[in-house]
Amino acid sequence: AAWALLRSLFRRALMASGWCTIESDPGVFSELITELGVKGVQVHELWSLDKESMAEVGPVHGLIFLFRWRGEKDDRATVTPGPGVFFASQMIPNACATQAILSVLMNCPSISLGEEMTAFKAFTKDFPPDVKGLAISNSDLLRRVHNSFARAEPTVSEERRASKEEDEVYHFISYVPVDGKLYELDGLKAGPICLGDAGPGEAWLDAVTPAIQARIEQYS
């Protein structure tokens, strides 16, 4: 039965199309989350990682980092996702931002996901990362809501939409605390990267700041 499901997901993934590029805007992301049925969650754009900026937006469930990807080798070890970690391989280039959002939503037990996303999380709970990614690509709800925020331009991969002159590539990754550990979740990698202990409450924000700052300096 498991192999039959996997084959079915692969067939549907091969036929799946129409995942449009959406605007990289916190207001768009907040509305997308609401349309998925999730309650009480908003996306805020941060220009600083200081404690004052974090405090202004209230409880922080996770952080999403948008950066210019250069294809450099990353030797950091990935880990096998534990039972409490939702990690999905990225199967659709244009779903990059939506998948980063899901990485935060699905890894925060205190978030009210709503009926459909709760069912999706339960359905995919025991799937390996690649099958989770296929389940995302084949979700009619996720595709429909994602496409409702399509940019008014020809469909171009989020990772490949840069100028021809510079050939810039952009990518979204997520940082979340799960079960006392801090993780970097990047659907283009084989698994999560554990960054160490998250600490109690929002102490994980202190732990994640150096990791994000290092990435900013690397890609600036």
Q: How far, in Å, CA of 70 to CA of 147, rounded?
A: 27
Regarding pTM above 0.75, the answer is yes
Query: pLDDT value at position 67?
Result: 82
The phi, psi pair for 197, rounded to 5°, reads: -75, 140
194 is catalytic: no
Per annotation, catalytic residue among 20, 44, 61, 96: 96
What 3-state class would DSSP assign to 182? Answer: strand
44 is catalytic: no
Q: Which residues of the chain fall short of a pLDDT of 70?
A: 1-17, 152-168, 219-220
Q: Which residues contact 138 (CB under 8 A, 6 or more apart)?
A: 9, 12, 13, 16
Nearest Cα to 110, choosing from 39, 200, 194, 211? 39
Buried b (16+ CB within 10 A) or exposed e, 77-94: ebeebeeebbbbbbbbbb
Per annotation, catalytic residue among 20, 146, 171, 194: 171
Query: pLDDT value at position 143?
Result: 94
Query: pLDDT value at position 202?
Result: 84
Q: Which amino acid is at 114?
A: G
Q: Which amino acid is at 156?
A: V
Query: pLDDT value at position 12?
Result: 54
Query: pLDDT value at position 94?
Result: 82
